[in-house]
Structure formats: structure tokens, C-alpha cells
């Protein structure tokens, strides 16, 4: 057996000691060591390129530094081993022993720690993909096999000899050939001389070398085990393949890509983005607004769209509210996805309501506006799940400026919908993302009473770290817990500019940013170095020429045109006419920037000018949207347009600007170029302009031109034209005259034949009522007198400001009320101007004038006076009192004088006992529902003196079965009375049945009043019931007697419960003496009065 082993060993040794075999072995070893070293640094490079993203974060600096340290140790030891291998051919066999020692040290202090770190990273952060893992593992396995093979051969050789001493000479020769590369035959003699010393050395080293090789085998075995574990993780299906799915789709196929196609989509599907309330920075508990779901952002990216969220904070009086908007930006257009408004009831409580219209919201004070644009970066090798970026903008003086704005955005799981912040904290079911509706406060489980919502508290939200467990070891994710902010682009741009394009530019070529910055020298340098960039498009189809036009720099535009002309393989005119994905070419963009020089350069370079067969003309639309009249004239001159094809484009509407003098110039240009103008457009323009204030620049000239042009195009006798001219005339009388404090605008209309005054007294009252309010107040008595005289055309001919001479005294009465009431001389002023206008006393008698109006308008004198004239007079009196321009007593005296004068001149105006309660109800309904005049002392005094003393309970009881009061009128009057407790108490003091008529109408009770106030109303309700029924004992079935049944709404059922609870308490408690004394005294007085009668 030993002989057979010796024979085999001898064959192997003989084969291995051949010189070329030894050199080949050394070369393979060196190549493997080199590949191993390079793979270590490849891994470092790949780890360092890992970026923060969804679920996974970049590698920590400590980990990177540790790996670099071990790589340096490994590199140092490998260099030493390289040198030893190069010298092993020439030196003694002792270098073999030293190589084995270096290898053991390398494995223990470099390779093993590196493999442990790699395994840890892979088990906790399997997103890191590096080919270096595979290269390094294979190289180490091959090195281990090669080294173990040599050790195995040496071991067999040693065991095949019975004694080291017997075979010392042959062993020395074999070892010398194996380890020292076959010494030269000339050294045989010297070897024999030193044979005795080498024999002793060799015996000692053989024993020592055996232990070293055992340690080497053990180290290699441990390293092999760790590499096998790493390979098992490497070839195991992992989460990092997410990014590969995105790469398999082109732009058209991505439309079908859904979140559920991605592995472990629950990582992203159950995540929502929340904004920390900036006002809660210093509070003990954070408040959060729910903005948008991560699922929605990813889905929009799959169809090449992005989304932005806008939160606008308004202050309307003392009420604060938030307007929430979601806007989706597609390739060629944008769309408002959702919008809602939330009233801030208190620090933690909100209520949703219908957003005010745009015309009203412009008048509300803007506190601040935050606009957040979200961009999803698709998965890549460096970011396996992609990344969500955001940019914050704010509105400053109607301009957007990209600037730093500190906000806190975080991811939270959508399991918040399972919890209730007010009712219960238990899980309420397995809700998916579909339960969410985007908005600040949308979870039904967070709803409180009366459709009110509360902010999300930190205790209600589930941190996303509890969802994002990474790797096989389920380590806690170190990824960012919220979207990352884009570095802001410090550029000011108009609201019409595409912000999405500016954000996308962050990830495009440098030339786009340089072109947009307007730096001609840098742009010229880049294009000179690479002329292929001249027509390079970005993500939105914008070439450098487009961005140069956006910058407003004609030098940059000229450089881009020159670069296109220098390209012989391109047609410059075709490239200049190229449009981006928004359908805009460089010419349109230059017009948007009002860049006259760039416009001329692009026209000369061959920009598109033939629009005869086009359906739209973007340059003209852009020109009309700007304030540059000269540029717009050049656009109309340069472009060849067939306007008959473009009837769907509203160029006349686009020509309207804040400065109407510019609009007037545009209208003249459009008319000169024969742009079609429809009568419907004229009516719409007229309606838009008449909503503006008289302080707008050029409004008088514009309206006069508008009317003159309409008469010239159509006819003054056409109904639509006549109606618009009447509106223009009324606008001049109502706003322009008191603003300019003269009648010059009216005289111009009269001179041009455009003046069409109001034809009824009621319309004149609506027009002239604007003269006396503070917004356009005329304080100087001389100016007031002059305006009244101009209205009467005194000392002027022809007298056609008020063409109807019979109506003129009443119009003058309204004008005097608007300008002089509640001054004491207002009646004398009216009489004086009527006398100057050559009217006798009978012609300007108020009764005669009102009767004439009633005949013409088919409306009773009583209704017109109390509904129109009285409401205006008392509104003006209350206004002067509240502004402390007049003392309360003087104002009351003026109101009494006003009413007494009306009663004296017109007997039909006096309230009469029959049906007087109905007249009072109608009077209470004449005011707007939100008006507080009904509770003012002046109004209370008038009701006390002129209406309530004439109300009879018998009359109310007689008319209750067949009431002539309209239900809507009764509802408005009920709201007014129940809002004003003093007024209600005053009515009940005179008539319990009239008070009962209001109080029993519970379905019209205001919903905004407090519970304590409702209890007061219930007390008065019971008192009115007792008085009107002439009983002192309250029946137990009062809840059935009161009309509280069959309301058919939740609000009435709530009131029913409240009444029943209150009634049981009311019946069980002792009554107040003051209440019952008041009820008893009033009841006795009414009984005695009836018995006397």
C-alpha cells in the first residue's frame, strides 16, 4: 500500500516540479490575486453609488470607511504576496512558508471581515447589486482550491515516507525543485557540503509548516462557508429586481404598468405623504395634513405625468380657511384633479364647505400659499424602488419664485384609516388604499359631529419604518422617511410658465440650464465643443433654442440659431419650427417673454408664419396674453392667418387685460386685421368689464369704444346692443360718476348717442344707492350739490340725463337720500333742487310720485316704499351710526322725520291694524339673511313705534288658518328674529301669538346658534304657548303639541331629542319667579284689555 502511494506521489511531484508548470501556477495565482483586489474596489465603488430612495438608503459612512480600511489592508498584503511570488523562483524554499503566513494573515484580518461585512449588507440591504461580489467570491474559491491542492500534494508526499531521515536527501531534492525552482547542477557540490545543516533545518520547518498549513486550511474553510452563504443570498430572488421591470417598458407600454406589477408592491401601496403643520412647530404635539398617496404618484409616472398639491390659506374677516387643490401635469396640458375648502374652526377642528367662486376669492385676503410639486424618479440600479422628490414654491406679488422654504414631509402607512381619533382606537377592518381620498382631512373615521374633521395627530399615524423591513434579516430601513427636496432653481417666472419643465430640467443636460440662465458666453463654449447639442431635446421636447427663448436673451437665441445653421446635416428652418410636447415653438416662447429682438431673429431664421390651414395660432394667443402692443402688432403683421378657420379661438376675450388702455389698443388691432367678432363675445366682454372697479386704468375710454364699435357693427336698435348700452350707462351713473365726481362721462355718452338711462324708479334707486356708501363716499357738500344739479340738468340743455320728466323728482329724491340723508337738511335740499328744475309742489309730492310708479310697475306703493326705499334709508342710517359719523339719537330723529314725511305725503304708507303682523313679517324678510340691521336699536325703535302697537292677537288667530304669508318670506323673517334675541323678546312683549308663529317654525331655526341660546328660545316658546293658550299649567304632552314631528331630516330629529331632554328637565325643576311673573302680568293685561273692549 505504501509502495502504491509512494508511486502516485512520485508521479505528482515529478509532474509539478517541471519549470513551466511552476511558472504557470505562479501566473494563475497572481492573476487571481489581482482580480480579487480589483473586485474589492469595484464593490466599494458600487456601494458608494447607492443613493437614498424609497425603502433603501445609501450605505452609511462608517460602513464605507470600514470596508475601505480592510481593502487597504488586503491590498497591502496582496502586494507583499506578489513580491514573494516573483522572488520564489530565485530564492530558497523558505519563501513558501512566508507566503502561507501572509495568506493566513490576509484571510484573518482582511478577507474574513470583508466577507462578514458583505454578508451583513446583503442580509439587511439586498438592494445593493455589485458584480464584484461574484468576481471576488469566484477568485477566492479558485485561490483556495489551488493552495489546498499544493498542500494536499505536499501532505501526501510527507506521509508516503516512513522516515524523514531516510529520505532526507531525496526530500531535499524534491523540496528544492518544488519550492526553489530547480537549482542549477553547478550547486550540487555545495549542497552536499551543507547537507547536514539543511537536514536539521528541514526537520524543524517540516514540523512547523504542518501547523501553519492546518491553520491555513481552517481559515480557507471558514472563508468558503461565508462565501457560500453570500452566494446563496446573491442568487436568491430578491427585491432589487424592481428596477428591471421599469426598464422593460417603453413610453407607450408604461401606460399599462401598474403598481401591482412590481414585486412587494405593498411596500409602496400602503404609504401616504403627510405635511407637518407649520403652525405646530412649537407645540407639544405635531399636526399633519394628508396630501397625496405614493401609489398615485407612481401611477402618474407610468403615464408620464406628475402632480402638484397647493395649500392656500385665506383670511375672510375673522374666519380662516384653507383651499386644497391637486393639479396633474400631463405632457401637453394640465388638469385640476380635485379641490376642496376647509374652514378652521379652532386649532384642531376643521369643517369642509363649498369653495367660494373665483370672483369672490380674489377679494379675500391671502395669508400665504404653498405649492408642492412631486416627481417620481423611476427605479434604477442605484435606487431600486425609485425616489420621490418635491419642490416648494410660494406666490409673491403674483409671481412664482423658487426659493428655500422649510417644510416637513413624511411617509406614513395608510392604516391610519383603521383608527379613530375621537371614538375608538381599535382596528376597524382591513381597508385598502381605495378608502383614501386625497385631501387634508378625508378619513371618515376622523369625522366628528356635523361633518367636522380633526387634524391627524402623531399618535394616530403609523410610521413607515414599521412597514419598510429590508433584507432577509428584516432589518429596520434607514431610508429617508419623507420625500427629498430638489435643490431650488433660483429663477423668477410668470404664472403662465411651465413649472414642471423647470423641475424636470434638474435631471437633463447642462446645456439646458445654461441656455435658460441666459449666459451667452457659456452657451457658446458648450455648443462650440459639441455641435450635436444644438438640436438635442430634453424630456419635454425642448431644444436649447427653446430654453434660450425662455431666458429672454436674444444673444442666446442668436447663438443657438447659428449652431443650427452650422450643422450641414440639418435644415435650420425645420429645427426652428420644431415644437415641444406642449405644442410651443421657440417663436411662441419668445412672444410669451415679450422678447422683440428674439422674435425678429426667429422670423429671419425661418420660424413658422403660415397659419392659413392651422386650427390655432399659438404665437397670437401668447401675444394677446402679454402687454406688449408693439410686439402684438408685429405678430399680426408677420403671420399669415386665415381667421375664418379660427372661430373657436376667443382672441377678443384674450385681449382683455388689467390695464384696459392696452386692451383698447388690442381691440383696434384686431379690428384692423378683420378678426371675426361675434355679438355673443361683445356681450361677454361687456359683462366682464362691468364687474371691474372704476379705478381701473382706461375703463371709461374702453367702454365708450366698446359701445361705439357695437353700434357701428350691428345697430343700436338691436336688443342685445341696447341692453349692453343700458348696462354701460348704468355703470357710469353708479360707479364712474361718484368716483370722478362729475358727469363728464355721461355727457360723452350723450354726445355719441350711446346713453341709455334706466327707465324705472326701482332701477334708478339701485343705481343711485351706490353714491352714498363709504366705498365711493362723497363728503364735500358742494360736490354733492353739484352732482344733484347735474342729474337734474339744471342750467344745461338738452335735459336728457333723466329723459322722463315725470320720473325726475323721484330720481332726485333718491339722489338726495343717497348723498344727504341722515343730515337734517335733506328734505330742504330735495325741495330746492325740484324748484330749480321748475317743478311745482304738486309735481314733486312724494305720494303722487309713488302712485305714478305703482301704476307703471304694477307694484303697490306700500311694498315699494318699505321694501326698497325704507331698506336703503335704514341701511344708510345704521351705517352712519356704526361708523360714529352720527350720534344714535340724531339718527333716530332723522329716521322719524323720514317716516313722518312719508306718512304725511302718502297716506298709503301708514301701517294699519288689519294684517299689520303680515306687513311686519314682510319687512323682516326684506333684508339679506346675513344682515344685522334687524337687531339694531334704530330698527327696534321703528318696529316698537310703528308696527307692534297695531298688532292684534285676534287678527293673528283669525289669519292663522288661512295665512297669506309666503313660506319663504316666513323662513327669512324667522331667521332674522331668532338671531336677534332682543327683537324676539320685544315682539313677544306685544304679541305672544306672533312670537309663537316664529318660534313654532322650528324647521327654520338657525343651525349655527349655540345650545344655550336654543334653551333660551325654548323658554320663550313655552311662555308664548302659555300666554296664547290662556293657561298657567304646562301640559305634559307639550312635545306632541309643538310642531316638531315629520320634519324628515337629521337636524329636526336632533332638535326633537334636544326638546324632549330640555322639557323633562324643565318640568322637573322649579320655575323662575321672574319668568312666571312676566307671563302672568302680560296675560292679565291682555285679558283686561279684551274685557274692556
pLDDT tens profile 1034-1063: 444 444 444 433 333 444 454 455 555 665
Grid-cell match 332701477, residue found:
763
**What pLDDT score does 701 carry?**
92
Mean pLDDT over residues 484-494, rounded? 49
**What pLDDT score does 599 carry?**
92
Mean pLDDT over residues 374-401, rounded? 68
DSSP 447: B
What CA–CA distance (Å, rounded) separates 339 from 354? 10
**What pLDDT score does 587 carry?**
92
- Of 259, 263, 270, nearest to 239 (Cα)? 263
Residue 696: exposed, middle, or buried by beta-carbon count in 10 A (0-12, 13-18, 19+)?
Answer: middle
What CA–CA distance (Å, rounded) separates 420 from 904? 68
**What pLDDT score does 394 carry?**
65
Of 217-221, 570-574, 905-909, least confident by mean pLDDT is 217-221
| Domain stop point among 883, 910, 937 | 910
Structurally, the chain folds into a number of domains equal to 6
Residue 996 scores a pLDDT above 60 = yes
- Tell me the sheet residues that pair with 339: 325
**What pLDDT score does 1039 carry?**
46
Mean pLDDT over residues 175-198, rounded? 45
pLDDT band at 933 (very low <50, low <70, confident <90, very high): confident
The answer to whether residues 925 and 976 touch, using CB atoms and an 8 Å cutoff, is yes
Residue 957 scores a pLDDT above 80 = no
Residue 729 corresponds to which cell in the numbers above? 350707462
* 666 and 570 fall within a common domain: no
- Of 58, 38, 36, 35, nearest to 47 (Cα)? 58
Cis peptide before 1004 (omega within 30 of 0): no
Q: Are strands 349-353 and 334-344 parallel, antiparallel or unpaired?
A: antiparallel
Q: Which pLDDT tens digit goes with each residue over 228-287?
A: 777 766 666 554 444 444 444 444 444 444 444 454 556 676 788 888 876 655 555 667
Segment of 65-74, 423-432, 603-612 carrying the highest mean pLDDT: 603-612
* 769 and 751 fall within a common domain: no
**What pLDDT score does 1035 carry?**
43
Count the residues in the chain.
Answer: 1093
**What pLDDT score does 205 carry?**
54
What CA–CA distance (Å, rounded) separates 84 from 88? 6
**What pLDDT score does 647 carry?**
59
- Cβ–Cβ contacts within 10 Å for residue 817, how many? 22
Q: Which tops the pLDDT comparison, 948 or 240? A: 948
* 368 and 302 fall within a common domain: yes
In this structure, is residue 622 part of a structural domain?
no
In this structure, is residue 637 part of a structural domain?
no
pLDDT band at 104 (very low <50, low <70, confident <90, very high): confident
Cis peptide before 918 (omega within 30 of 0): no
Residue 518 scores a pLDDT above 60 = yes
Residue 772: exposed, middle, or buried by beta-carbon count in 10 A (0-12, 13-18, 19+)?
Answer: buried
Q: Which pLDDT tens digit goes with each residue over 811-820?
A: 999 999 888 8
What CA–CA distance (Å, rounded) separates 1043 from 625? 60
Return all residues near 10 (Cβ < 8 A) that are at least 6 apart. none
What CA–CA distance (Å, rounded) separates 939 from 948? 12
Grid-cell match 442568487, residue found:
235
Mean pLDDT over residues 304-328, rounded? 81
**What pLDDT score does 1047 carry?**
35
* 867 and 959 fall within a common domain: no
In three-state form (DSSP H/G/I as H, E/B as E, the rest C), the secondary structure along 73-112 is HHHHHHHHHHHHHHHCCCCCCHHHHHHHHHHHHHHHHHHH
Residue 879 corresponds to which cell in the numbers above? 351705517
**What pLDDT score does 649 carry?**
63
Half-sphere exposure of 555 (CA within 13 A, CB side): 9
Residue 852 scores a pLDDT above 50 = yes
Mean pLDDT over residues 318-346, rounded? 77
- State the Rg of the chain over Cα: 47
- Of 874, 877, 952, 897, nearest to 919 (Cα)? 952
- Of 983, 873, 1012, 981, nearest to 924 (Cα)? 983
What CA–CA distance (Å, rounded) separates 78 from 73? 9
Tell me the CA distances in angstroms from 768 to 739, 763, 874, one per residue in order: 13, 9, 15
| Domain stop point among 852, 879, 910 | 910
Percent of the chain with pLDDT over 70: 67
Mean pLDDT over residues 934-943, rounded? 86
**What pLDDT score does 1092 carry?**
44
**What pLDDT score does 960 carry?**
55
Segment of 45-49, 911-915, 1045-1049 carrying the highest mean pLDDT: 45-49
Residue 453 corresponds to which cell in the numbers above? 374633521
In this structure, is residue 249 part of a structural domain?
no
pLDDT band at 402 (very low <50, low <70, confident <90, very high): very low
- Of 859, 999, 987, 1003, nearest to 916 (Cα)? 987
**What pLDDT score does 429 carry?**
36
- Of 567, 564, 556, nearest to 589 (Cα)? 556
In this structure, is residue 793 part of a structural domain?
yes
* 148 and 292 fall within a common domain: no
Residue 641 scores a pLDDT above 80 = yes
> Rounded to the nearest 10 degrees, what angle do helices 131-159 and 2-16 cross at?
130
Residue 93 scores a pLDDT above 60 = no
* 109 and 219 fall within a common domain: yes
Give the Cα-Cα-Cα angle 164, 169, 175 (nearest 5 degrees). Answer: 80
What CA–CA distance (Å, rounded) separates 307 from 294? 11
To which H or E segment does residue 173 belong? Answer: helix 168-180
In this structure, is residue 114 part of a structural domain?
yes
**What pLDDT score does 705 carry?**
92
To which H or E segment does residue 973 belong? Answer: helix 967-979
* 872 and 1016 fall within a common domain: no
Q: Which tops the pLDDT comparison, 750 or 581? A: 750
Tell me the CA distances in angstroms from 399 to 365, 628, 729, 740, 926, one per residue in order: 17, 18, 36, 32, 44
The answer to whether residues 1005 and 978 touch, using CB atoms and an 8 Å cutoff, is yes
- Of 35, 218, 220, 81, nearest to 141 (Cα)? 220
Return all residues near 879 (Cβ < 8 A) that are at least 6 apart. 773, 774
- Greatest C-alpha distance within the chain: 164
Secondary structure class of 393 (helix, strand, coil): strand
**What pLDDT score does 1051 carry?**
41
Of 146-150, 576-580, 619-623, 637-641, least confident by mean pLDDT is 146-150
* 226 and 278 fall within a common domain: no
- Tell me the sheet residues that pair with 327: 308, 336
In this structure, is residue 725 part of a structural domain?
yes
Q: Which domain holds residue 332?
A: 271-419+437-485
Secondary structure class of 412 (helix, strand, coil): strand
Q: Are strands 387-396 and 484-485 parallel, antiparallel or unpaired?
A: parallel
Q: Which pLDDT tens digit goes with each residue over 732-772?
A: 998 898 888 888 999 899 888 899 888 888 888 888 888 87
The answer to whether residues 702 and 664 touch, using CB atoms and an 8 Å cutoff, is yes
* 812 and 893 fall within a common domain: yes
Return all residues near 628 (Cβ < 8 A) that are at least 6 apart. 594, 596
Tell me the CA distances in angstroms from 442 to 194, 352, 445, one per residue in order: 96, 10, 9
**What pLDDT score does 781 carry?**
82
- Cβ–Cβ contacts within 10 Å for residue 988, how many? 24
* 780 and 892 fall within a common domain: yes
In this structure, is residue 930 part of a structural domain?
no
To which H or E segment does residue 700 belong? Answer: helix 699-713
Return all residues near 425 (Cβ < 8 A) that are at least 6 apart. 419
The answer to whether residues 437 and 417 touch, using CB atoms and an 8 Å cutoff, is no
Mean pLDDT over residues 568-589, rounded? 88
Give the Cα-Cα-Cα angle 82, 87, 93 (nearest 5 degrees). Answer: 115
| Domain stop point among 721, 756, 791 | 756
Grid-cell match 474559491, residue found:
141
Segment of 349-353, 414-418, 916-920 carrying the highest mean pLDDT: 916-920
Q: Which tops the pLDDT comparison, 190 or 49? A: 49
**What pLDDT score does 333 carry?**
66
What CA–CA distance (Å, rounded) separates 879 from 888? 11
Segment of 44-53, 528-537, 620-629, 791-800 carrying the highest mean pLDDT: 620-629
Mean pLDDT over residues 917-932, rounded? 80
* 694 and 599 fall within a common domain: no
pLDDT band at 556 (very low <50, low <70, confident <90, very high): very high
Of 662-671, 804-813, 1013-1022, least confident by mean pLDDT is 1013-1022
Q: Which tops the pLDDT comparison, 549 or 3? A: 549
Q: Are strands 492-493 and 475-476 parallel, antiparallel or unpaired?
A: unpaired
DSSP 111: I
Q: Are strands 409-413 and 462-463 parallel, antiparallel or unpaired?
A: antiparallel
Q: Which tops the pLDDT comparison, 905 or 348? A: 905
Of 69-73, 162-166, 206-210, 272-276, least confident by mean pLDDT is 162-166
Mean pLDDT over residues 800-821, rounded? 87
Secondary structure class of 18 (helix, strand, coil): coil
Residue 1091 scores a pLDDT above 60 = no
pLDDT band at 1009 (very low <50, low <70, confident <90, very high): low
Return all residues near 1051 (Cβ < 8 A) that are at least 6 apart. 1007
In this structure, is residue 627 part of a structural domain?
no
Mean pLDDT over residues 892-921, rounded? 84
Mean pLDDT over residues 678-692, rounded? 89
**What pLDDT score does 728 carry?**
92
Residue 724 scores a pLDDT above 70 = yes
To which H or E segment does residue 815 belong? Answer: helix 808-820
* 739 and 811 fall within a common domain: no
- Tell me the sheet residues that pair with 288: 276, 456
Residue 139 scores a pLDDT above 60 = yes
Amino acid at each position: 500500500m505504501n509502495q502504491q502511494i509512494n508511486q502516485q506521489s512520485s508521479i505528482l511531484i515529478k509532474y509539478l516540479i517541471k519549470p513551466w508548470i511552476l511558472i504557470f501556477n505562479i501566473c494563475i495565482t497572481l492573476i487571481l490575486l489581482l482580480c480579487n483586489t480589483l473586485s474589492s474596489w469595484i464593490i466599494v465603488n458600487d456601494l458608494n453609488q447607492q443613493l437614498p430612495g424609497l425603502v433603501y438608503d445609501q450605505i452609511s459612512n462608517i460602513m464605507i470607511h470600514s470596508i475601505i480600511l480592510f481593502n487597504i489592508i488586503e491590498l497591502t498584503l496582496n502586494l507583499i504576496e506578489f513580491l514573494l511570488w516573483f522572488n520564489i523562483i530565485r530564492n530558497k524554499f523558505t519563501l513558501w512558508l512566508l507566503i502561507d503566513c501572509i495568506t493566513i494573515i490576509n484571510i484573518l484580518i482582511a478577507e474574513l471581515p470583508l466577507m462578514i461585512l458583505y454578508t451583513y449588507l446583503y442580509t439587511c440591504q439586498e438592494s445593493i447589486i455589485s458584480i464584484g461580489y461574484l468576481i471576488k467570491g469566484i477568485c477566492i474559491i479558485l485561490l483556495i482550491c489551488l493552495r489546498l491542492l499544493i498542500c494536499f500534494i505536499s501532505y501526501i508526499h510527507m506521509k508516503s515516507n516512513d522516515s524523514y531521515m531516510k529520505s532526507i536527501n531525496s526530500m531535499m531534492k524534491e523540496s528544492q525543485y518544488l519550492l526553489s525552482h530547480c537549482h542549477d547542477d553547478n550547486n550540487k557540490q555545495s549542497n552536499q557540503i551543507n547537507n547536514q545543516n539543511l537536514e536539521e533545518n528541514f526537520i524543524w520547518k517540516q514540523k512547523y509548516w504542518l501547523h501553519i498549513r492546518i491553520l491555513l486550511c481552517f481559515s480557507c474553510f471558514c472563508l468558503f462557508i461565508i462565501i457560500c452563504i453570500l452566494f446563496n443570498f446573491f442568487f436568491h430572488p430578491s427585491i432589487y429586481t424592481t428596477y428591471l421591470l421599469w426598464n422593460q417598458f417603453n413610453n407607450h407600454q408604461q401606460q399599462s404598468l401598474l403598481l401591482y406589477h412590481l414585486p412587494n408592491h405593498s411596500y409602496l401601496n400602503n404609504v401616504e405623504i403627510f405635511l407637518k403643520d407649520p403652525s405646530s412647530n412649537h407645540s407639544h404635539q405635531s399636526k399633519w395634513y394628508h396630501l397625496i398617496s405614493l401609489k398615485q404618484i407612481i401611477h402618474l409616472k407610468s403615464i408620464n405625468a406628475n402632480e402638484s398639491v397647493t395649500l392656500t390659506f385665506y383670511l375672510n374677516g375673522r374666519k380662516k380657511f384653507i383651499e386644497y387643490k391637486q393639479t396633474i401635469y400631463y405632457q401637453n396640458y394640465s388638469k385640476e384633479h380635485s379641490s376642496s375648502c376647509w374652514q378652521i374652526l379652532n386649532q384642531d377642528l376643521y369643517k369642509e364647505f363649498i369653495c367660494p367662486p373665483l370672483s369672490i376669492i380674489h377679494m379675500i385676503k391671502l395669508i400665504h400659499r404653498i405649492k408642492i410639486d412631486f416627481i417620481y424618479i423611476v427605479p434604477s440600479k442605484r435606487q431600486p424602488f425609485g425616489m420621490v422628490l418635491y419642490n416648494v414654491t410660494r406666490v409673491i406679488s403674483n409671481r412664482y419664485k423658487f426659493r428655500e422654504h422649510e417644510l416637513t414631509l413624511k411617509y406614513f402607512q395608510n392604516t391610519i384609516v383603521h383608527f379613530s381619533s375621537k371614538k375608538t382606537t381599535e382596528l376597524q377592518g382591513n381597508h385598502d388604499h381605495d378608502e383614501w381620498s386625497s385631501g387634508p382631512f378625508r378619513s371618515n373615521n376622523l369625522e366628528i359631529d356635523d361633518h367636522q374633521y380633526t387634524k391627524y395627530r402623531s399618535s394616530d399615524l403609523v410610521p413607515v419604518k414599521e412597514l419598510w423591513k429590508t433584507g432577509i434579516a428584516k432589518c429596520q430601513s434607514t431610508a429617508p422617511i419623507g420625500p427629498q427636496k430638489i435643490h431650488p432653481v433660483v429663477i423668477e417666472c410668470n404664472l403662465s410658465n411651465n413649472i414642471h419643465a423647470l423641475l424636470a430640467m434638474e435631471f437633463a443636460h447642462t446645456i439646458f440650464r445654461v441656455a435658460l440662465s441666459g449666459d451667452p458666453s457659456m452657451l457658446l463654449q458648450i455648443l462650440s465643443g459639441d455641435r450635436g447639442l444644438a438640436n438635442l431635446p430634453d424630456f419635454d421636447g425642448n431644444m436649447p433654442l427653446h430654453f434660450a427663448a425662455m431666458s429672454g436673451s436674444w444673444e442666446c437665441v442668436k447663438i443657438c440659431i447659428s449652431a443650427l445653421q452650422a450643422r450641414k446635416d440639418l435644415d435650420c428652418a425645420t429645427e426652428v419650427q420644431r415644437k415641444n410636447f406642449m405644442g410651443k415653438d421657440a417663436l411662441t416662447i419668445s412672444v410669451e417673454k415679450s422678447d422683440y429682438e428674439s422674435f425678429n431673429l426667429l422670423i429671419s431664421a425661418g420660424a413658422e408664419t403660415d397659419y392659413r390651414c392651422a386650427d390655432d395660432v399659438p404665437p397670437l394667443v401668447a401675444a394677446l396674453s402679454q402687454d406688449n402692443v408693439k410686439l402684438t402688432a408685429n405678430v399680426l403683421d408677420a403671420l399669415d392667418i386665415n381667421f375664418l378657420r379660427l372661430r373657436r379661438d376667443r382672441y377678443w376675450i384674450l385681449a382683455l387685460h388689467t390695464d384696459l388702455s392696452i386692451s383698447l389698443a388690442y381691440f383696434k388691432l384686431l379690428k384692423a386685421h378683420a378678426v371675426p367678432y361675434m355679438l355673443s363675445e361683445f356681450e361677454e366682454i361687456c359683462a366682464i368689464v362691468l364687474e371691474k372697479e372704476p379705478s381701473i386704468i382706461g375703463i371709461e375710454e374702453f367702454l365708450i369704444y366698446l359701445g361705439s364699435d357695437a353700434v357701428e357693427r350691428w345697430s343700436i336698435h338691436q336688443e342685445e346692443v341696447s341692453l349692453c348700452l343700458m348696462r354701460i350707462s348704468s355703470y357710469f351713473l353708479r360707479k364712474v360718476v361718484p368716483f370722478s365726481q362729475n358727469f363728464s362721462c355721461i355727457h360723452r355718452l350723450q354726445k355719441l348717442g350711446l346713453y341709455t338711462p334706466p327707465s324705472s324708479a326701482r332701477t334708478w334707486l339701485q343705481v343711485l344707492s351706490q353714491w352714498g356708501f363709504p366705498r365711493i363716499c362723497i363728503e364735500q357738500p358742494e360736490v354733492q350739490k353739484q352732482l344733484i344739479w347735474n342729474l337734474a340738468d339744471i342750467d344745461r340743455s338738452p335735459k336728457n340725463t333723466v329723459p322722463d320728466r315725470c320720473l325726475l323728482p323721484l330720481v332726485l329724491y333718491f339722489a338726495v337720500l343717497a348723498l344727504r340723508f341722515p343730515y337734517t337738511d335733506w328734505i330742504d335740499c330735495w325741495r330746492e333742487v325740484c324748484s330749480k328744475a321748475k317743478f311745482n309742489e304738486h309735481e314733486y309730492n312724494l305720494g303722487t310720485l309713488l302712485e305714478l310708479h305703482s301704476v307703471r310697475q304694477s307694484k303697490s306703493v306700500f311694498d315699494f316704499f318699505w321694501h326698497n326705499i325704507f331698506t336703503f334709508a335704514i341701511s344708510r342710517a345704521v351705517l352712519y351710526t356704526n361708523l360714529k359719523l352720527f350720534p344714535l339719537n340724531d339718527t333716530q330723529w332723522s329716521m322719524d322725520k323720514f317716516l313722518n314725511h312719508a306718512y304725511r305725503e302718502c297716506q298709503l304708507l301708514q301701517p294699519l291694524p288689519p294684517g299689520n303682523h303680515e306687513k311686519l313679517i314682510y319687512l323682516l324678510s326684506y333684508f339679506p339673511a346675513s344682515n344685522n340691521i334687524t337687531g339694531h336699536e334704530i330698527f327696534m325703535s321703528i318696529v316698537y313705534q310703528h308696527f307692534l302697537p297695531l298688532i292684534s292677537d285676534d287678527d293673528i288667530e283669525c289669519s292663522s288658518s288661512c295665512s297669506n304669508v309666503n313660506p319663504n318670506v316666513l323662513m327669512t323673517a324667522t331667521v332674522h328674529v331668532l338671531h336677534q334675541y332682543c327683537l324676539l323678546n320685544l315682539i313677544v312683549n306685544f304679541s305672544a301669538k306672533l312670537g309663537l308663529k316664529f318660534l313654532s317654525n322650528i324647521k327654520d331655526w338657525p343651525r349655527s346658534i349655540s345650545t344655550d341660546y336654543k334653551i333660551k328660545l325654548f323658554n320663550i316658546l313655552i311662555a308664548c304657548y302659555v300666554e296664547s293658550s290662556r293657561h298657567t299649567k304646562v301640559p305634559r304632552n307639550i312635545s306632541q303639541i309643538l310642531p316638531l314631528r315629520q320634519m324628515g331630516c337629521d337636524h329636526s330629529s336632533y332638535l326633537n331629542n334636544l326638546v324632549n331632554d330640555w322639557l323633562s328637565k324643565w318640568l322637573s325643576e322649579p320655575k323662575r319667579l321672574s319668568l312666571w311673573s312676566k307671563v302672568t302680568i302680560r296675560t292679565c293685561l291682555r285679558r283686561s284689555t279684551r274685557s274692556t273692549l
